[in-house]
Structure 1
């Protein structure tokens, strides 16, 4: 219970309200109506976020300086002040931000992809690594498993191309046989033996002779398909187009990975900013609760006001707890996307406006049509189907091949020298009837071509829609940034007026609570507008793709 015997309570209330209106960090104040011997009353510093509204409207590098997760580090000098965010857990180490050209090999995962941790300490988070957005994208390109699979699939298709090109060369085969044959011969009547049992005589008086002939034969044959009705050329062309298709798939996967990494990075930034905003709101709510309790002590407040202030503080505390949970989830999501070692977490730089888009909507659409891999993929798939159709039709066409072989034969034990021979020739094979299988397969590939053409039209419309959605979102969020800046200024002014009216007795505590909530909402809206703008810009870059190879000129 509050100490009701505390001296000069009215002066305490008066000064507390003045400190709320005019916060000064690190200042200790004495009661104005107390004597010098009275104990000093420390007023907790109140850091009010000034927001990006103090930035010039034309500035494109506005920084919403949230707090760093780094322990023991002071926030960087910024156009506004911010409260530091406490570390995510006790015992973690926050590493310094790497330089832009720093070697990030220590952030690579274990090279053994089959490694499975079995001990709790192997998955314990030991530190937090700050990263810039560019470093996060670089790590994603290097470590992400899905992109590695796409690279391996490209290598596999290149090996398949080597296999198809092997048909351009002749085949050279060597075969060797070793044969042992048992031969049995019967001779004429003999006077020796009993004529019935053994002694080389049969029961009929004839003798038998058994011999084993061992023969070896080796053959060296050279063959070459001289004419295949277009099957060989079509197979090679199809394999080449398959390599191109995998290259486009890798490009598409890389561009999508860049967008997903950027969105995860911005999600973590938003979670960190929400912690800062909710932390400031909680401090304001707790300060208001203390003031309300003091008013109740001196008889100028009611129990109802105290209960309302307690509810507001409790709600603010819950929102802060949830914001911290969201930050941890966002950290793990980004760490998973970057395939970081299991003992590291990640944090971000402060929120900034990412940049501007120099092209008009119409030129952006045309640039996307020229660059998107998704538009080339159906065309490549159509070409593959055309070549597969040629392969199917070649199955019922004439096939001409040349061959030459040389063989050596020798029978052991006959006393004769080995015999050899060679042969040269041409072979014609023509399948005159296959029940219509080749024609049906060719018709399937023709349908595949029509499907690819339809998919091209579908992809073209989808690309345009993605460009327009991102472009419209970019414009809307750019306007929302200016509106949100103004709203933050107005909410701060409204909060000051609500406090003054409340102190003068013409306002209510509900007005103060509402003004505090409005300021928190306005600050959150400003963060949302800036990150929405950044996300729209990243989506627009994804919709165009291949920005490095494109001259982005108005």
Structure 2
């Protein structure tokens, strides 16, 4: 009875036991209280008719609403199911979950069943009653338990939990990044398609001009200089077309790698580059909002919490380690006597180990834990600063691309008219072919600049959507999945499984 009272007392001590973990305090965000709003940021584009965020934040907008292209939507879905990097990220979460369970298991006693037989020989001169051979059979239960009086094991468990949560957020960031990478690679393919079409049109015009110039040269009314200049335009356009065809094939290969499988033949028809309708009026909110929207920031904070918990374990190492071991069973010199009356055997062995001299190891471990925490504080602050910079850069780009594209459209129109007039003046003998050549080159350059600006504008909108934390849910209005949910799980089943997930309980 007295033994059980001691065990009950030990349980009470553990339940109310202390911990040496420092009280966690979130570092202040080392950025301005608001995003820039003057100068280049002052004019943000309005939403197109029917394509508005409606005041919703990026995290509340599903990627199926943000990307309206049905072909792109299906490609993103395939990538979420097949991308190998994302699979590794999900498996890393499973591994971190197992590590957390291992650390948590150390809080509980261990209980093992054991059976043994031992045989020994004693010299005859030392034997009792001349028996030189003795044997013993034993069977029973062994238990051991380290009483976590100072919170060392709990601190290690907390550290493992925070590492698990950090891994879950890293997996969430990987999925969001994958959505953006697939979209941007798809848009790049569309841009190369437009460049190929522009080059084909330029090549046709250049070949027609070359045919006319060659006819004039053959008839003696044109110069060889005009002929060679016309030929230069044709060959340059042909060279550009080969380079762009190569870029198109490589862009598709890059998309296939992201998707994780060849693109199916039954994909729905998609929209062209100029018909991509992305939401342009997603509100930026405040920089402080990024702390709960950006998984990379939440990952950095979970890593910081893990370093904070490790300090508690390092501090607890200076104090005594209390362990209880015991066994209960049956022992007998014969196998048949194991379970007879009077064969019961038990042992109870409390142990206290107090560190006296360890060569400075505990002091060094504590110093290391403090340094690691300062490192993680710097990493956390850098993550916030990087997120602030990304959003600010994207806001600056969003406010300028529309005006840039409008200017390039006017430039393209002007260069088209210049080419028409140059060709007319050349045919009438007013100007040399050099004017036509210059006009063709300028128009081609302007058309390429316009296409590049259009795809850059779309990439910017994708980047801003992701920088503000969007891309985690598929459909607007869905209940967000926990960070450690499988990539292809539906919202309903994810919610059902959230109760068993430490990330769902702690990180949400």
Structure-2-length-normalised TM-score: 0.72
CA distance in 2: counterparts of 1:304 and 1:393, whole angstroms: 86
Q: 1:530, CA displacement in angstroms?
A: 0.8
Among residues 465, 488, 491, which one is paired with 2:389 in the alignment? 465
Is residue 247 from structure 1 mapped to residue 168 from structure 2 by the alignment?
yes
Higher percent of residues as strand:
1
Decide whether the 8 Å contact of 1:335 with 1:345 is kept in 2: no
Change (3 A) 1:59 1:492: farther
- 1:150 counterpart residue number: 89
> Which one of 402, 410, 421 corresponds to residue 345 of structure 2?
421
Alignment deviations for residues 114-135 of structure 1 (CA, whole Å, 9 cap, x no partner) = xxxxxxxxxxxxxxxx982222
Deviations 1:56-110 (A, max 9, x none): x99959xxxxxxxxxxxxxxxxxxxxxxxxxxxxxxxxxxxxxx99xxxxxxxxx
Q: CA deviation at 1:482?
A: 0.8
Q: How much does 1:476 deviate?
A: 2.4
User: Which residue is equivalent to 1:19?
Assistant: none
1:181-225 deviation per Cα after TM superposition (whole angstroms, max 9, x unaligned): 345547xxxxxxxxxxxxxxxxxxxxx988543322224223333
Give CA deviations for 1:222-257 in whole Å, capped at 9, x if unaligned.
333334311122122112111111111112222222
Unaligned 5+ segments in structure 1 are 1-56, 62-99, 102-129, 187-207
Counterpart in the other structure of 2:110: 171
Give distance in 2, aligned partners of 1:237 and 1:286: 72
Who is 1:318 aligned against? 239
Which residue does the alignment assign to 1:335? 256
Does residue 412 of structure 1 match 2:351?
Answer: no
Q: Which structure has the highest helix share of the two?
A: 2
| 2: CA distance, partners of 1:333 / 1:412 | 73
Asked whether 1:376 is paired with 2:330, we answer: no
The question of whether the paired residues in 1 share the 8 Å contact of 2:179 and 2:471 is answered with no
d(CA) in 1 for partners of 2:378, 2:156: 24
d(CA) in 2 for partners of 1:409, 1:271: 83
Q: 1:434 maps to what in 2? A: 358
1:465–1:322 distance in 2 versus 1, CA, 3 Å:
same
Query: 1:355 maps to what in 2?
Result: 278
C-alpha displacement of 1:298: 4.0
Instruction: Report the secondary structure of 2:333's partner residue.
Output: strand
Distance 1:367 1:357 in 2: 19
- Aligned partners of 1:494 and 1:303: how far apart in 2? 24
Kindly state the Cα deviation for residue 314 of structure 1 after the two structures are TM-superposed: 1.5
Higher Rg: 1
Structure 2 counterpart SS, 1:168: coil
Matched-pair contact (CA < 8 Å) for 2:93–2:168: yes
Question: In structure 2, what is the equivalent of residue 393 of structure 1?
Answer: 315
Cα distance in 1 for partners of 2:143, 2:46 equals 77
Matching residue of 1:181: 120
Contact persistence 1:213–1:412 (CA under 8 A): no
2:423 aligned residue? 499
Query: 1:496 offset after TM fit, Å?
Result: 1.6
Residue 538 in structure 1 maps to residue 477 in structure 2: no
Against the structure 1 CA distance between its residues 406 and 474, is the aligned structure 2 distance closer, same or farther, given a 3 Å change threshold?
A: same
Q: Aligned equivalents of 1:525 and 1:294: distance in 2?
A: 33
What is the alpha-carbon distance in structure 2 between the residues aligned to residue 139 and residue 503 of structure 1? 55
1:503–1:383 distance in 2 versus 1, CA, 3 Å: same
Q: How many residues align?
A: 408
Q: 2: distance between equivalents of 1:455 and 1:349?
A: 41
In structure 2, C-alpha distance between the alignment counterparts of 1:413 and 1:511, rounded to whole Å:
111
SS in 1 for 2:359: coil
What is the CA RMSD across the aligned residues, in angstroms?
3.4
Q: Give 1:345 deviation, angstroms.
A: 12
Distance 1:428 1:170 in 2: 16
2:283 and 2:376 map into 1 onto residues whose CA distance is 30
